[in-house]
Amino acid sequence: HEVIYICVSLVFLYTMVVTHLMSVSIWVPQAEIDAAVKLLLKLKVDYKQMTGQDYKAGCPPSENSIAPDNGPAADGADEDTVDPWNVATTNAKGVDYDKLIVRFGSNKIDQELVDRIEKVAGQTPHRFLRRGIFFSHRDMHQVLDAYEKNKSFYLYTGRGPSSEAMHVGHLIPFIFTKWLQDVFDIPLVIQLTDDEKYLWKDLTLEDCHRFAVENAKDIIACGFDVNKTFIFSDLDYMGSSPEFYRNVVKIQKHVTYNQVKGIFGFTDSDCIGKISFPAIQAAPSFSNSFPQIFGSRKDIQCLIPCAIDQDPYFRMTRDVAPRIGYPKPALLHSTFFPALQGAQTKMSASDANSSIFLTDTPKQIKNKVNKHAFSGGKDTVEEHRKYGGNPDVDVSFMYLTFFLEDDEQLEKIKQDYASGALLTGELKKMLIETLQPMITQHQERRKQVTDETVKQFMTPRPLNFKL
């Protein structure tokens, strides 16, 4: 809307200034002209910031121009920061996701869409859908329309392997993607961006690649079907697939430096690897990047489940797609997984106390939850019984919304905690008893994943499916 407003203002101001310069006989005071010129220049700068392009008189942005992140509101010193590298909010309840939908220009996953997914998939929707953990989408209705007409699609998700240690939050997109793969019976590609981690972090190429392979084991342990899943490291696949690289180059040709600067905030001192990387994350959205799976077909729709902070990459991808003759990928966005210390603090792989790691022992899980999980309870038992706790800021309760399957039980916990009937210690105990078996089972499945299994998943090969 703001872009349109700026365009209208620009057209008006241009007309006013030009008619003045041409001395057409309308009388406008000089002061007003000066003010108009000043405003004109400012609007042109705003326009360029928002669209990544210079304003050309009488040339509003095409419908296809990249929907910008409209950025912090003019009044909002306390606006949330959300981009692929930073997530920050001052609100104990976490990021304001409704505002984010407006800012990113995506659509809310409402009850109607959840019901529709249930109908088309013929399964109870995953708890992440029932509880708004996947809360936003792009073009999901279109994917379902096509699926109902027997036109299938494929899934694409990924991970940036910055260390060996993965925490439970990292599993969210994979748990959900596995569910989608099972209910829709479709192929999946998983990109490990070891190249990105090398470019952004102070790590060696060897370490980044090693982390990719280690992380692949945790991903495989989520239960993906080897006959329907291809996992790849960018460092390996880029060099082995001419088709993939051709798509990278096509994307690179159709995105300007101004555009990526506008979307990702790159500066002149960022290395050129970073500037061209978004094309590499975009390429798996196009089916002909994987000829071993899809042959030369370039028309197979892609659906990307990911955390909302990855959306800038795919806004760019969706802008480029029609210009290089490919369908736009659809998206499902998840909320962020909060740190143990609270939804406004950052989870960090280097701080073992900030989350539950997939390598934690049952004892470590118990200690971490008891000592570090931010509580929405009152200071004393008496006060808590009298006034009740606040589940909206309580991290143990938030974690249970991610991992406790039973809706009724979860609702009862919420009410009991809010009323004061349930104490913080009791709530934490429920979380501990939910996490301990979940992590232990994950560790057992991971132990079954041999180097041979990893190699199978990571070898380019045909997959089993019918489209």
Give whichever of 60 and 462 is closer to ligand NAG, judged by the CB atom.
462
Query: Considering the rule CB under 6 A, would residue 1 count as an interface residue with ligand NAG?
Result: no
Following CA atoms 274, 164, 454, 288 in sequence, which dihedral angle do they give, to the nearest 10 degrees? -20
Query: Which residue, chain included where needed, has tokens 């959900």?
Result: 176
Give whichever of 150 and 296 is closer to ligand NAG, judged by the CB atom.
150
DSSP letter assigned to residue 301: E
Q: Which stretch binds ligand NAG (CB under 6 A): 175-183, 225-233, 265-273, 386-394?
A: 225-233
User: Element (H or E) spanning 383, and its range?
Assistant: helix 381-387
Q: Which stretch binds ligand NAG (CB under 6 A): 323-331, 348-356, 422-430, 440-448?
A: 348-356
Query: Considering the rule CB under 6 A, would residue 150 count as an interface residue with ligand NAG?
Result: yes
Asked if 459 and 293 touch (Cβ cutoff 8 Å), the reply is no
Selected binder of ligand NAG within 149, 267, 452, 466 (CB under 6 A): 149
Give whichever of 62 and 150 is closer to ligand NAG, judged by the CB atom.
150
- Number of residues in contact with ligand NAG, rule: CB under 6 A? 10
Give me the least distance between CB of 153 and ligand NAG, in Å please: 15
What 3-state DSSP class applies to 222? Answer: coil
DSSP letter assigned to residue 307: E
Alpha carbon 317 to its chain centroid, in Å, reads: 14
What 3-state DSSP class applies to 305? Answer: strand
Q: What is the 3-state secondary structure (H, E, C) of 75-110?
A: CCCCCCEECCCCEECCCCCCCCHHHHHHHHCCEECC
Selected binder of ligand NAG within 351, 416, 426, 433 (CB under 6 A): 351
Give whichever of 3 and 226 is closer to ligand NAG, judged by the CB atom.
226
Q: How many CA atoms lie within 13 A of 80 on its CB side?
A: 27
String of b and e for 229-255 (b: at least 16 CB within 10 Å)?
bbbbbbbbbeeebebbbebbebbbeeb
Query: Considering the rule CB under 6 A, would residue 380 count as an interface residue with ligand NAG?
Result: no
Give whichever of 127 and 228 is closer to ligand NAG, judged by the CB atom.
228
Give whichever of 86 and 353 is closer to ligand NAG, judged by the CB atom.
353
Query: Considering the rule CB under 6 A, would residue 363 count as an interface residue with ligand NAG?
Result: no
Phi, then psi, of 334 in degrees rounded to 5: -105, 160
Give whichever of 107 and 367 is closer to ligand NAG, judged by the CB atom.
367
Give whichever of 167 and 209 is closer to ligand NAG, judged by the CB atom.
167
Distance CA 138, CA 86 (A): 22
Give me the least distance between CB of 131 and ligand NAG, in Å please: 29
Give me the least distance between CB of 128 and ligand NAG, in Å please: 24
Q: Counting Cβ atoms within 10 Å, is residue 272 exposed (0-12), middle (13-18) or buried (19+)?
A: exposed
Give whichever of 223 and 265 is closer to ligand NAG, judged by the CB atom.
223
Asked if 91 and 343 touch (Cβ cutoff 8 Å), the reply is yes
Selected binder of ligand NAG within 352, 421, 449, 467 (CB under 6 A): 352
Give me the least distance between CB of 154 and ligand NAG, in Å please: 17
Helical H runs in 107-226? 111-121, 127-130, 140-148, 172-184, 194-200, 205-220
Give me the least distance between CB of 370 and ligand NAG, in Å please: 9
Phi, then psi, of 26 in degrees rounded to 5: -115, 145
**What mask of x and - would describe binding to ligand NAG in positions 184 to 223, judged by CB under 6 A?**
----------------------------------------
Q: Which stretch binds ligand NAG (CB under 6 A): 204-212, 347-355, 423-431, 441-449?
A: 347-355
Selected binder of ligand NAG within 353, 409, 415, 419 (CB under 6 A): 353
Distance CA 177, CA 219 (A): 11
Give whichever of 104 and 357 is closer to ligand NAG, judged by the CB atom.
357
Q: Which stretch binds ligand NAG (CB under 6 A): 77-85, 154-162, 332-340, 349-357?
A: 349-357
Give whichever of 226 and 438 is closer to ligand NAG, judged by the CB atom.
226
Applying the rule CB under 6 A, the residues between 419 and 458 that interact with ligand NAG are none
Which residue, 390, 396, 467, 386, is CA-closest to 431?
396
Give me the least distance between CB of 464 and ligand NAG, in Å please: 6
Query: Considering the rule CB under 6 A, would residue 225 count as an interface residue with ligand NAG?
Result: yes
Query: Considering the rule CB under 6 A, would residue 226 count as an interface residue with ligand NAG?
Result: yes
Count of C-beta atoms within a 10 Å radius of residue 166: 24
Could you tell me the CA-to-CA distances from 348 to 113, 163, 399 in Å, in that order?
A: 34, 11, 17
Residues that bind ligand NAG (CB under 6 A): 149-150, 225-227, 351-353, 367, 371
